Structure 1
Amino acid sequence: MNELHKETSPYLLQHANNPVHWKAWNSTTLAIAKNQNQLMIVSVGYSACHWCHVMEHETFEDNEAALVMNKNFINIKVDREERPDIDAVYMKAIQIMTGRGGWPMNVVCLPDGRPVWGGTYFRKNEWMETLEQLQNLFENNPEKMIDYAEKLKAGMDSISLIPESHNSFDFSNLETLLSKWKKSFDHEFGGYERAPKFMMPNNYKFIMRYAHQEKDDQLLDFVNLTLTKMAYGGLFDTVDGGFSRYSVDMKWHVPHFEKMLYDNGQLVSLYADAYKLTKNPLYKEVIEKTLQFVSNELTNDFGGFYSALDADSLNAENHLEEGAFYTWTKPELENLITEDFKLFSQVFNINQFGFWEEEQNYVLIQNKSLEEIAKENQIEVSELSQKKKDWEQILYIEREKRSKPRLDDKCLTSWNALMMKGYIDAFKALGNQNYLETALKNADFIISNLWTSDGNLLHNYKDEKSTINGYLEDYCFVIESFISLYEVTFDKKWLLHSKQLTDYCLYHFYDSNNNLFSFTSNLDEQLITRHFEIEDNVISASNSVMANNLFKLHIYFENSYYEEISKRMIEKILPNIDYPSAFANWLDLFLNFSDLNRELAICGTEALKNAWEIQKEYLPNIIIAGSESQSSLPFLKNRYVSKENLFYICQNRTCALPKKSLLNTILKLKN
């Protein structure tokens, strides 16, 4: 029978009434497959995934398809967000077999879990026919299937091996990579010259930093073009804030309408950095709207953040439809905006540019600044800006009457930490104390609910339950966010928490033979192959984040072992980089080893206030620490002088004589 009603995952619960005899991935299920010598179907997806819903409706809700699946297979449903380890392992197999990946992901495995066939979305008849062929092969020629499984597993194992290289990596290599990278840029709409378009925050974070440090105005212009066009596009929900996961076209117009917590956390951080550098009011608007959306729709009463809003919602006919909540018809807009409709149409392109060609709908998109449109219409920018706010409020009120997208209300530790850091970075840029308070509340939520007395983090939280041991992604992002909390509070406990979690990772995740951290703890049952996450994707690779954390913590605690491991990791990865977009966070770490990197110690009764002023500036090459009294933190030891406010600018453990002027310190750091 279908056992998913026992689970807490919203995605698994969506499948709890399927006629398929779904089971969850656990030791009991795996033992049944082995004991009964049955093939396994491992079907992986997530709650906000449109094509997962399509395959469910067409196939998994169909009695004929369910009969084929139930007759001979152990059927396992996996929420990729709850079990990224399973997803990563079988995604390797899919990519080897088909050359591509995505979700839903469906794999047929031998009873011991080794994959033999798979792909992404399948239509019902193809699915049924293939399953019957595979079962026939398993019954009549299992040796052939086993031989293929062995070869495939060998390929999966080889992917996890990063070759050792004795080549050095320096700034000339970096310049070569940037030259190659630029060839993929879209200089009309920003981003990369392809569709679909993903935002890739870690890419633009690095490019912005490199361009700023190297004074490359062309690169900076490209980053600003990208961030502006992303903010203009239908990808960003101008009515209620928040970004969708990606756009299906080249101009950031029509999104895949799901809104994911991890995207919005990272994008707030990115736009906060960009605002500090440019003071562009559009970026401030994006930050404020996005955080308001997160507060309204993705925050629970205890300070935790929910995972996602679905791409699909009920349309006027009460059927699930992708984007139904977000799109508008021209008559609807004319009726709502009335006498301002002509001007509204200029701002949001209720014309051919803004038309969603596949449907009789418009997705709101800008292609000109308010300054340009105000000039064309001979009105003040302030007047047009106020009108835009009024229109958005009218649309928001109307849209709230619609059926909302389904909410995935589980809390994931890693994603919560990304969103916490977004709030911290927004506080640094804008100085809104509410953002800092929200970050602190989320940190307390993680400590209270997701950090056990045994020292380990847990990965998930739903209905007051946490059922999955933490992955490296949970540790690395919590450590990163706690370091960021220290930077805006100067409360040493956040660094001590970071150090404690780092030491736990070194004991339970670090593989000294590979000089990398495994994705799963050595306390967890191992899957068919080990996974070392090294490539940055829409989220930075957990190893690249850990290497950055170790670099920072070695400075705070003057810990040479942390520094040594961070160097080993980056020296292993950098010489093997071919396409830089997948290693942006590693390249960001590499810049920390340049002569431009500095450490700043701020000591005195106004240390925190001074730090907040400094953090309003874009200073990506500065690692900051401070104290309003004597501190036992190694980096700050003996730096405090009573009744003085001192600023120590240091490099490689060597500090210049302290400055006493905040302004002079900022000028020195910026030059």
Structure 2
Amino acid sequence: MANRLVNATSPYLQQHADNPVDWWQWSDEAFAEARRRDVPVLISVGYAACHWCHVMAHESFQDEEVAALLNDGFVAIKVDREERPDVDAVYMTATQAMTGQGGWPMTVFAAPDGSPFFCGTYFPRDTFVRLLGSVRKAWREQREDVLQQGVAVVEAVAGAQLSGGPATPVSAPLLDTAVTTLTKEHDTTHGGFGGAPKFPPHMNLLFLLRHHRRTGSSDALEMVRHTCEQMARGGIYDQLAGGFARYAVDATWTVPHFEKMLYDNALLLRVYTQMWRLTGDVLARRVADETAAFLLRDLTTPAGGLASALDADTAGVEGLTYAWTPAELTTVLGADDGPWAADLFRVTEAGTFEHGRSVLVLGRDIDAADPDLVRRWRDVRARLLAARAERAQPARDDKVVASWNGLAVTALAEHGVLTGSAPSRDAAVALAGTLADRHLVAGRLRRVSRDGAVGEPAGVLEDYGCVAEAFCAVHQLTGDGRWLDLAGQLLDVALTHFAAPGGGFYDTADDAERLVARPADPTDNATPSGRSAICAALVSYAALSGRTRYRQAADEALAAAGSLIAGHPRFAGYAAAVAEATLTGPHEIAVATTDPRDDPLVTAAHQHATAGAVVVAGRPDQPGVPLLAGRSLVEGGPAAYVCRGFVCDRPVTTVPELAALLAG
């Protein structure tokens, strides 16, 4: 029975271990059982922090009557989309092809060979019961029609793979077109792009920051500044503890869907850190510091690595931990500070959320306020956070996902280098060590681990890309050649086992489990696509190593993404950000110095670096660091070497000279 899920790596699967449904994990054995019984398969896909997944579980999967119908007529398979993104991608494409939309929980009915013939998302209990009856009847009485439907869906899924348009080489006009499109879609009132629900557009913001750095575009920078400010003051940002929720249900960033995902916060940490680097914005620096602190405080797992998410629900109630009434504020803060906080955080008697409760938003600019006001605000935040800690807390999905931890490593490395944060620097190195020592098994990546034990699912392309990029970042942070070697090994696996004709990439390896279609999603959505992630790593690795074949592979893959960048930039943000780096060079900056931590030239190299530049500092000819090969001190002192396309300018020895060289 359901004890098949008890020993699963996934906390999401374990949440269903006590259901009366006779769940199977995704396996050949489950489909063999469907063939033996001659029944269709129900594939239910979700993740641990998903609110509507919990709702459907409570309404249907915990219900004895529904479970009896499922057990009698189907083989039921439960899938964690975060653990098996390949399975999720194939059936999400099918769901979108059949219904025009997708989401989680995803509910798929399939033949025993895995071919989907009916797809949907959340179904209320009574609707789901009727659906089970209809599907079972169709399987018995209209089998040929059902199977033909499955064939048609599989053909549609296969046809959608590797899409993205004809090869279009990256160029400055192409990226200008992408910015123009984003400008038209920008919400000039509330920031972001489009209407409700509104997701943090982190990858588009990274692209726009790099575009501004390369071109000086004030429009690009203003879209980033406005969006970052609106998000940081909204309810999507945790005004007490830091960290961003997955999305806002409205267009104003007021009411979040309360789950906090590692990948969102890693990418947003990069955005706010880079925005502060380019503008000196005080709010951006505060949010970057608080987001880094959130990652290390709330997502660090005892066995190493960062947990995937905090749940949207607390004790079965969405947002229970986070919402407030004016009376609750006064109880915690007293008669003076309570009403003051209610005004500052826009907590009203009517409420902005449910049941007269409000999500905290920052109603006015506080970062540049009078110092006494800032001190009062900080004191109020601390007392409210302490009181909130006494409430029930959301559950944590503590599985460690390779790609998402890779994103966090890169973000923490950037934050540590640019702000001087020792905790961020140390965490980046430690997390990279966890990925190298635990997730890298016999030269191949595993996607997940939990409680120190690595799981069985193989790494997908985004894992190889994000982890390789992270290893490149840690190589720059430490000057240790081990990390560059590991990045190269991962990229060699990707080029050997994931490459597709025409410069594309599949999301799964050529020796991975065969699904009804081989996924190859070209779009950047919640996370970078595998193709975008591998391009980022290839560009950085080529610049750091001087090995041009990796750059050639990146250029071909970016050309395959070119029409997507130009036509639909909201779904190609990471690819566009990488493209900006290729137009800039990227610059390769080597600083020969005996004191890489405190040398002003090193600080200036990071502060003035161009889009996607790589920076390495250390002793001349430091082993394992190709960018320092052949470098030398100048008159016994530090010297910076700025190269582009493996062609170098003369060394400079002062900060103004280096800044001028990188500005030219």
Q: TM (normalized to structure 2)?
A: 0.95
2:492 maps to: 503
Worse-superposed segment, 219-228 or 638-647: 638-647
Q: Which moved more, 1:287-296 or 1:90-99?
A: 287-296
1:360 is aligned, of 356, 362, 367, to 356
Question: Where do 1:401-412 residues align within 5 Å?
Answer: 401-412=390-401
Residue in structure 2 matched with residue 620 of structure 1 by the alignment: 611
Secondary structure of the equivalent of 2:24?
A: strand
- Aligned counterparts, 1:185-204, within 5 A: 185-204=186-205
C-alpha root-mean-square deviation of aligned residues, in Å? 1.9
- Shift of the 466–333 alpha-carbon distance from structure 1 to 2, 3 Å rule, reads same
Contact 1:277 1:618 in 2 (8 A): no
Corresponding position of 1:490: 479
1:396/1:639 CA distance change after superposition, 3 Å: same
Which 10-residue stretch deviates more, 354-363 or 22-31? 354-363
Aligned residue in 2 for 1:667: 660
Alignment of 1:303-314 (within 5 A): 303-314=304-315
Residue of 645, 650, 657 corresponding to 1:652 = 645
Q: Distance in 2 between matches of 1:26 and 1:506?
A: 27
Q: Does 1:119 align with 2:108?
A: no
Give the C-alpha shift of residue 546 in structure 1: 0.8
Whole-angstrom CA distance in 2 between matches of 1:482 and 1:179: 34
- Which of 505, 529, 554 is residue 542 of structure 2 equivalent to? 554
How far apart, in 1, do the equivalents of 2:515 and 2:587 lie?
Answer: 42
Question: For 1:268, what is the secondary structure of its paired residue?
Answer: helix
Q: Which residue of 1 aligns with 2:451?
A: 463
C-alpha contact 2:465 2:535 (8 A) present in aligned 1: no
Shift of 1:607: 4.3
Superimposed CA distance per residue, residues 330-388 of structure 1 (whole angstroms, 9 cap, x where no aligned partner) = 11112222212343233212348x9315421011112321278x5xxxxxx11111111
Q: Distance in 1 between matches of 2:20 and 2:510?
A: 37
Residue number in structure 2 paired with 1:638: 630
Q: Following superposition of structure 1 onto structure 2, how do residues 140-155 of structure 1 map, counting pairs within 5 Å?
A: 140-155=141-156
Asked if structure 1 preserves the Cα contact closer than 8 Å seen for 2:23 and 2:76, the reply is yes
Of stretches 149-158 and 560-569 in structure 1, the one that deviates more from structure 2 is: 560-569
TM-score by length of 1: 0.94
Equivalence for 1:426: 415
| In structure 1, distance between residues paired with 2:361 and 2:159 | 45
Q: Aligned match of 1:322 in 318, 321, 329? A: 318
2:331 corresponds to which of 321, 331, 335? 335
Partners in 1 of 2:406 and 2:367 — Cα distance?
37
Once the 2 structures are TM-superposed, how far is the Cα of residue 429 of structure 1 from its aligned partner?
2.3
> Residue deviations 1:529-584, cap 9 Å, x none?
01113111121111112112112222222222212211111112203442111112
3-state SS of paired residue (2:454): coil
Instruction: State the secondary structure of the residue aligned to 1:663.
Output: helix
2:583 aligned counterpart, secondary structure:
coil
Listed one character per residue, the Cα deviations across residues 568-614 of structure 1 (whole Å, up to 9, x for unaligned) are 11112203442111112222222233257422222232345332443
- Tell me: CA distance 1:556–1:290, structure 2 relative to 1, closer, same or farther (3 Å): closer
Asked if 1:533 is matched to 2:521, the reply is yes
2:443 counterpart SS class: coil
One-letter code aligned to 1:335: T
CA contact (8 A) 1:607 1:645 kept: no
* CA deviation after TM superposition for structure 1 residue 167, in Å: 5.3
Find the aligned partners of 1:622 and 1:371 in 2 and give their Cα distance. Answer: 30
Other-structure match for 1:445: 434
Contact residue 197 and residue 248 of structure 1 kept, 8 A: yes
Secondary structure of 1:356's counterpart equals coil
The alpha-carbon deviation at position 178 of structure 1 amounts to 2.1
548-557 or 113-122: which moved more? 548-557
2:486 alignment partner AA: H
Q: How far is 1:231 from its partner?
A: 0.8
Rounded to whole Å, the distance in 2 between the matches of 1:662 and 1:491 is 25
| Structure 1 residue 143 displacement after superposition | 1.0
Distance (Å, rounded) in 1 between the aligned partners of 2:296 and 2:542: 35
Is the Cα–Cα contact under 8 Å of residues 312 and 405 in structure 1 kept in the other structure?
yes
- Quote the Cα distance in structure 1 between the aligned partners of 2:288 and 2:424: 11
Alignment of 1:6-21 (within 5 A): 6-21=7-22
Deviates most, 41-50 or 428-437: 428-437
Please tell me whether residue 581 in structure 1 is matched to residue 570 in structure 2. yes
Structure 1 residue 6, shift from structure 2 partner = 2.9
Give the gaps of 5 or more residues in structure 1. Answer: 315-319, 375-380
- For 1:622 and 1:105, locate their aligned partners in 2 and report how far apart those are by CA, in whole Å: 40
Q: Write the mapping of 1:375-414 to structure 2, written as runs, cut at 5 A.
A: 381-414=370-403
**Percent pairwise identity:** 31
Q: Partners of 1:270 and 1:666 in 2: how far apart?
A: 22
Does the CA-based 8 Å contact 1:302-1:441 persist in structure 2? no
Which of these residues, 322, 345, 350, is aligned with residue 342 of structure 2? 345
Change (3 A) 1:616 1:335: same
Instruction: Measure, in 1, the Cα distance between the counterparts of 2:389 and 2:633.
Output: 57
State the distance in 2 between where 1:646 and 1:410 align: 44
Deviation digits for residues 244-279 of structure 1, max 9, x if unmatched? 111111111111011111111111111110111122
Letter in 2 for 1:140: E
1:220 has 2:216 as partner: no
Select between 158-167 and 513-522 the one with higher mean Cα deviation. 158-167
Which whole-Å deviations, capped at 9, do the CAs of 1:55-114 have from their partners, x for residues lacking one?
Answer: 111111111111111111000000111111111110000000000000000000001000
Note if 1:299 corresponds to 2:296: no
Structure 1 counterpart of 2:324, which letter? W
Amino acid at match of 1:485: V
In 1, are the aligned partners of 2:619 and 2:628 still within 8 Å (CA)? no
Residue 163 to residue 204, structure 1, CA distance change in 2 (3 Å): closer
- Contact 2:620–2:631 (Cα < 8 Å) also in 1: no
Counterpart CA distance in 2 for 1:538 and 1:201 is: 9
Give the stretch that moved more between structures: 584-593 or 145-154: 584-593
Letter in 2 for 1:528: V
Residue 611 of structure 1, aligned match among 599, 602, 606: 602
1:303 CA drift (Å):
3.0
Q: Please name the residue that 1:474 is paired with.
A: 463
Deviation at 1:400, TM superposition (A): 1.0
User: 8 Å contact 1:262–1:415 — kept in the other structure?
Assistant: yes
Deviation track 1:120-174 (CA, whole Å, cap 9, x = no partner) reads: 0001121121221122121122111111111111110110043773655532233
Q: Secondary structure at 1:510's aligned position in 2?
A: coil
**Partner SS for 2:444:** coil
Question: Which whole-Å CA distance do the structure 2 matches of 1:189 and 1:618 have between them?
Answer: 30
- CA deviations 1:630-650 (Å, max 9, x no partner) are 146444432224734221222
Counterpart amino acid of 1:98? Answer: T
The alpha-carbon distance between structure 1 residues 645 and 193, as it changes in their structure 2 partners (threshold 3 A), is same
Counterpart residue identity of residue 478, structure 1? V
More displaced stretch, 608-617 vs 67-76:
608-617
* 1:621 to 1:45, Cα distance in 2 relative to 1, 3 A: closer
CA–CA distance in structure 2, aligned partners of residues 622 and 597 of structure 1: 5
Give the match for residue 5 of structure 1: 6
Q: 5+ residue gaps in structure 2?
A: none
User: Structure 1 residues 419 and 395 mapped into 2: Cα distance closer, same or farther (>3 Å)?
Assistant: same
Q: Which residue of 2 aligns with 1:378?
A: none
Residue type of the alignment partner of 1:356? T
1:377 counterpart residue number:
none
1:317 aligned partner: none
* 1:428 CA drift (Å): 2.1
Residues 41 and 371 (structure 1), Cα distance of their counterparts in 2 relative to 1, 3 Å cut: closer
Structure-2 change in CA distance of 1:620 and 1:197 (3 Å): same
The correspondence of residues 29-40 of structure 1 with structure 2, limited to 5 A, is: 29-40=30-41
